[in-house]
């Protein structure tokens, strides 16, 4: 569906040049929800804007739905863009138009007959959960409702690809989850390919099939979300994974214990797939001469399966602790003994 080949974008200033995207290579499949994550300045917004040629690349190729986007101009580019829609962090709604009129706007531009426009608006209002709010103005809507209008408007012309530029960054956590659930539902019902950029690993974890991590304009790591959570390779990827699995308050407690002579052995456990739901700790306590103090634990879902993290304090003699850790590893549990980094 989408192929990026050595895609680069350089911005020129009076005194220097800035490489916003550097030799990016990606393959995104039809019907996939693909996440691109990075901190501010990583180049992710520039990258996503090159997919529909809002930014033209300095070099490289963007192949989207069979079109070499960088080679298109004028009418051919406008036609290709009909298959790509975009939603934004700050909604970009027309404040003088109602919900229905905002959704209808791209259909007016496309010169769709009025009866067909009204039918399509009705379908979309129901799809995004705004039935009964058709005549409301944006100023009368919550942030989540405004984004639902933005999503409905983006779907008006039945695109093949939906680009999401930090679409949940302006929303509170509960509203963010509701919008992510809506995007998942749209993806499943319409078979729509979704590309989203974010700086929040929670968003990636919640709905994406695969993820690419960007740093300083480069794609430094990519793969299935569950694999990236299990074995992050780059330092920046590990930082993003920690957003979800290592709450700061837990890490403060762990650092205090690591600084004590009698703090026991602190072990971080990661359970993947079916192992995340097995009573491994129960068997550990029953079979080995160690005390287990659970410091923090969590089981979460990705699109491809469950994963769990558990921080435990093991107390006992050295041999018993070693045997317990070996047992855990034998149960296909990743066990990392944490040490004081001072």
Give the CATH number of the domain where residue 178 resides: 3.40.50.300
End position of a domain, from candidates 243, 274, 306: 243
What proportion of the chain, given as a percentage, has pLDDT over 90?
56
Is residue 82 situated within a structural domain?
Answer: yes
Q: What is the mean pLDDT of residues 58-74?
A: 91
Which residues fall within 8 angstroms of residue 22, CB to CB, at 6 or more apart?
A: 8, 43, 216, 217, 218
pLDDT in tens, 191-211: 999 999 999 998 999 999 999
DSSP secondary structure string for all residues of 282-327: HHHHHHSS-EEEEEEEEEEEETTEEEEEEEEEEES-HHHHHHHHHH
Q: How far apart are the first and last CA of the chain?
A: 49
Q: Do 192 and 290 sit in the same domain of this protein?
A: no
260 has pLDDT over 70: yes
The pLDDT, as a whole number, for residue 278 is 63
Residue 303 pLDDT? 77
Q: Is the dihedral angle over the CA atoms 231, 235, 241, 242 positive or is it negative? A: positive
Whether 56 and 167 share a structural domain: yes
Domain containing 316 equals 246-337
Confidence at residue 330, expressed as pLDDT on a 0 to 100 scale: 80
Find the mean pLDDT for residues 291-315.
80
Based on the fold, state whether residues 39 and 161 are members of the same structural domain.
Answer: yes
| Residues 171, 144 contacting (CB under 8 angstroms) | yes
For the residues 278-304, what does the mean pLDDT come to?
80
Of the pLDDT bands very low, low, confident and very high (cuts 50, 70, 90), residue 164 is very high
Q: What is the rounded average pLDDT of the residues 224-247? A: 85
User: How does pLDDT run across 315-326, given as a tens digit for each residue?
Assistant: 888 888 888 888
Mark whether 289 and 232 lie in a shared domain.
no
Say how far apart CA 145 and CA 141 lie, in whole Å. Answer: 6
Contact 65, 85 (CB under 8 A): no
- The alpha carbon torsion through 81, 83, 86, 92 (nearest 10 deg) reads 70
342 occurs within a structural domain: no
Do 62 and 207 belong to one domain? yes
Domains contained in the chain, number = 2
DSSP 216-279: TTEEEEEEEHHHHHHS--SHHHHHHHHHHH--HHHHHHHHHHHTSTT--EEEEEEEEGGGGGS-
Instruction: Note whether 148 and 263 are same-domain residues.
Output: no
Please compute the mean of the pLDDT values over residues 136-140 and round it to a whole number. 95
pLDDT level of residue 132 (50, 70, 90 thresholds): very high
Helices 173-190, 143-155: inter-axial angle, 10-degree rounding: 20
Which of 243, 268, 285 is at the close of a domain?
243
Residue 277 has pLDDT above 60, yes or no: no
Task: Provide the pLDDT confidence category of residue 261 given band limits of 50, 70 and 90.
Answer: low
The pLDDT assigned to 170 comes to 84
Q: Indicate the range of 56-60, 131-135, 153-157, 167-171 predicted with least confidence.
A: 167-171
Mean pLDDT, the chain, whole residue set:
89
Distance CA 27, CA 99 (A): 35
Unique residue bearing structure tokens 């359970």: 271
Mean pLDDT computed over 229-243: 88
Q: Is 239 in the same domain as 251? A: no
Q: Please tell me whether residues 271 and 297 are part of one structural domain.
A: yes
pLDDT number for residue 129: 95
Answer whether residue 263 shows pLDDT above 80.
no
Regarding whether 91 and 71 lie in a shared domain, the answer is yes
């Amino acid at each position: 569906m989408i192929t990026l080949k050595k895609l680069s974008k350089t911005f020129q200033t009076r005194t220097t040049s800035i490489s916003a995207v550097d030799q990016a290579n990606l393959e995104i499949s039809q019907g996939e929800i693909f996440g691109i994550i990075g901190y501010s300045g990583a180049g992710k917004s520039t990258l996503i804007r090159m997919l529909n040629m809002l930014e033209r690349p300095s070099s490289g190729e963007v192949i989207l739905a069979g079109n070499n986007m960088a080679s298109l101009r004028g009418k051919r580019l406008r036609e290709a863009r009909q298959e790509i829609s975009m939603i934004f962090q700050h909604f970009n709604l027309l404040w003088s138009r109602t919900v229905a009129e905002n959704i209808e706007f791209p259909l007016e531009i496309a010169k769709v007959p009025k009866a067909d426009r009204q039918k399509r608006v009705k379908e979309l209002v129901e799809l995004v959960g705004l039935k009964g709010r058709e005549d409301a103005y944006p100023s009368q809507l919550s942030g989540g409702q405004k984004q639902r209008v933005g999503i409905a408007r983006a779907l008006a012309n039945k695109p093949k690809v939906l680009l999401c530029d930090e679409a949940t960054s302006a929303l509170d956590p509960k509203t963010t989850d509701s919008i992510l659930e809506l995007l998942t539902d749209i993806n499943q019902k319409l078979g729509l390919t979704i590309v989203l950029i974010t700086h929040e690993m929670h968003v990636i974890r919640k709905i994406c099939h695969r993820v690419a991590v960007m740093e300083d304009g480069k794609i430094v790591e990519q793969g299935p979300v569950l694999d990236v959570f299990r074995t992050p390779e780059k330092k920046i990827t590990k930082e993003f994974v920690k957003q979800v699995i290592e709450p700061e308050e837990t890490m403060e407690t762990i650092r205090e214990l690591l600084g004590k002579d009698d703090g026991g052995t602190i072990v971080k456990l990661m359970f993947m797939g079916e192992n995340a739901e097995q009573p491994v700790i129960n068997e550990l306590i029953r079979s080995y001469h160690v005390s287990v103090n659970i410091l923090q634990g969590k089981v979460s879902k990705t699109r491809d399966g469950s994963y769990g993290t558990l921080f435990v304090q093991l107390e006992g003699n050295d041999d018993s602790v070693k045997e317990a850790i070996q047992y855990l590893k034998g149960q296909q549990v990743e066990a990392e003994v944490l040490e004081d980094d001072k």
